[in-house]
Structure 1
Amino acid sequence: MSDKRQRARVQGSWAKPLPKQPQRPTEGCAFPSNPVANLKPSWGVGQHAFEFHQSTQPVKLIPSEKVIEKDGDHEVSNGPSGVSRLRLFTEFLPVEEADWMFSKLLAELPWSQKTNYRQGESYGEPRLTCWYGELPYTYAHSTMEANTQWHPLLLTLRQAVDSASGSSFNSLLCNLYRNESDSIGWHSDDEASLGIKPTIASLSLGDTRVFSLRKKPPPEENGDYTYMERLRVPLAHGTLLLMEGATQDDWQHQVAKEYHSRGPRINLTFRTIYPEPAGCRHGGQTLTSGTAPVLSTQHHQRLL
């Protein structure tokens, strides 16, 4: 077999290599065979001196998100506004009772979609709600009227939550997240009608959803949350979460949309509502950190 046919038919790394062809000089060419061999760099290496200066700006790191899953008291911050604290009860309701309560409330509460307003435009909340309380509740520039016709099961749950929290709640905002597309955006429960450093109790029934918190930035950050602390609290069926102290002054919270399929979830948010103080804008008022409405002496005593 000729050498040429052998190379064509044999595959693999051991095939006989082709002989090297001699390089022939290019006729009439003024450049050497390697045109860059004799060229010197023209960008002046060594002609300029560089000196390193340590930056006067502190290096900022984006903090990792912390997860809170264990029962107990969790002090999440302590600043000029005071201590911000979360209290978690992951098995506040037995599973069988929670199942029955979820089904009953899902079927019997007067769920409806509330209309809110942002920059003069209306939009439907991405969830269903209903309100119970002797006073109206205003947030996002929209008011939920007073409703004293409490469902009997809600009265039972309010007594249990009062006992666990040591508070006395007089109102309840019920939220129904129908699926993974329902949500509530970043906000703080800091309306003037909630008083100073309110305690908010959140009882969850149904599918697990993530409750997220982020610390409010100091004034010099100009509203940039990039480098602020973040928390993540999975709220499962029958879980009670209490937000206490300066949590509403120093933190925001949300329940974000999710990409994975989620079943319905009911969130019962118990609050203590006071008549709005004179001089405060009616509802939707966001108080800056360290400020509070002027309440009567009686109201101050009830908050202590």
Structure 2
Amino acid sequence: MAERRQRARVQGGWAGGAAGKARSAAPKAPAASNLAPADARPAWVRKDQRHTQKHFVFEKPSEVERRVPEAGVIDKPGVYELSKGPTGISRIHLIPGFIDSEQADWMFEQLLQDIPWGQRTHIRQDVSFEEPRLTSWYGELPYTYSRITMQPNPNWHPLLTMLKERIEEFTGYTFNSLLCNLYRNEKDSVDWHSDDEPSLGKNPVIASLSFGATRTFEMRKKPSPEENGDYTYVERLKIPLDHGTLLMMEGATQEDWQHRVPKEYHSRDARINLTFRIIYPEPDGVWK
């Protein structure tokens, strides 16, 4: 019995010694620093962070929708102030029935027959094309527009002289020139433009008298400098010009607005438009 105990102590002591040697031989792991703050520890060791982590989703900011304004319509008699700016007030005066229907009928027929209508040719970027309408010019001075010069024609038709005097009496303005336009059908037109040639002077007054088929006279405001010539969002107007209607354009209208008579898709009879104006000699005496 005593021998068995002795052997057990010897074996146990050998085993314990071997284990001790093994423990002393293993390298010691470095102790974690107690001075490092908890927040400085890597995020992956913080078990509670997995439950509080937020997910951010990028959302593109919504763009402000900019709508193209609907064109306004002017079809009632009256004086309309279109805009007001540094250049002045843009104003039109619409007078339907300035010439009553019965008189307008025979005037239209006489003008259609007696005026020496002609078709001018434009040259743009070395390409020539004919104006989609017929024209005629009356006045002591020539008139140049779109690089076309219409030579002086002092031989006023008596009916045109009578109409000029009637308009002058009604409006208080004096005119010395007249551009006549004949729109033969719905395919004839005039593109966007302003009557702002130097020979017309500053803030010209244009008296436009219509005979024949009703055509829509469209206007659009010139864009601000910030728009870089983009007419997409500018203010627009539509004005139906009936048989015998007088339209006056005054103030800064030619400076701040453009106008046109567009082609139409429905059949239209002939229309005559008389535009009375004041022409001044070119300062340098050269007509361009």
TM-score category by the smaller chain? 0.7 to 0.9
Letter in 1 for 2:230: D
Post-superposition offset of 1:89 = 0.3
What CA deviation, in whole Å up to 9, does each residue of 1:212-244 have, x standing for no partner? 000001112111000000000000000000000
Structure 1 position 49 matched with structure 2 position 57: yes
- Aligned ranges 1:12-161 → 2 under 5 Å: 48-51=56-59, 53=61, 59-161=65-167
Do the aligned partners of 1:117 and 1:140 also contact (CA within 8 Å) in 2? no
Q: 2:287 aligns with which of 261, 282, 287?
A: 282
Q: Residue 40 of structure 1 corresponds to which residue in structure 2?
A: none
The share of aligned pairs that are identical, in percent, is: 60
2:243 aligned counterpart, secondary structure: coil
Q: Residue 215 of structure 2 corresponds to which residue in structure 1?
A: 209
1:131 aligned counterpart, secondary structure: strand
What CA deviation, in whole Å up to 9, does each residue of 1:143-201 have, x standing for no partner? 00000000000000000111222110000000000000000000000000000000001
Post-superposition offset of 1:51 = 4.5
CA distance in 1, matches of 2:127, 2:58: 56
Q: Residue 172 of structure 1 corresponds to which residue in structure 2?
A: 178
- Aligned ranges 1:237-276 → 2 under 5 Å: 237-276=243-282
What CA deviation, in whole Å up to 9, does each residue of 1:109-134 have, x standing for no partner? 10110112222332110001110000
* Root-mean-square deviation over aligned CA pairs: 1.6
1:135 aligned counterpart, secondary structure: coil
Q: Residue 238 of structure 2 corresponds to which residue in structure 1?
A: 232
Is 244-253 or 217-226 further displaced after alignment?
Answer: 217-226
Post-superposition offset of 1:104 = 0.4
Q: Residue 219 of structure 1 corresponds to which residue in structure 2?
A: 225
CA distance in 2, matches of 1:78, 1:120: 39
Letter in 2 for 1:244: E
CA distance in 2, matches of 1:269, 1:240: 10
CA distance in 2, matches of 1:134, 1:167: 18
Structure 2 alignment gaps of length 5 or more: 1-53
What CA deviation, in whole Å up to 9, does each residue of 1:7-42 have, x standing for no partner? xxxxxxxxxxxxxxxxxxxxxxxxxxxxxxxxxxxx
Do the aligned partners of 1:180 and 1:258 also contact (CA within 8 Å) in 2? yes
- Aligned ranges 1:188-207 → 2 under 5 Å: 188-207=194-213
Letter in 2 for 1:79: G
2:89 aligned counterpart, secondary structure: strand
Structure 1 position 186 matched with structure 2 position 192: yes
Post-superposition offset of 1:278 = 2.5
- Rg: which structure is higher? 2
Structure 1 alignment gaps of length 5 or more: 1-45, 284-304
CA distance in 1, matches of 2:55, 2:106: 81
Change (3 A) 1:192 1:50: same
Letter in 2 for 1:137: Y
Q: Scaled by the length of structure 2, what TM-score is found? A: 0.78
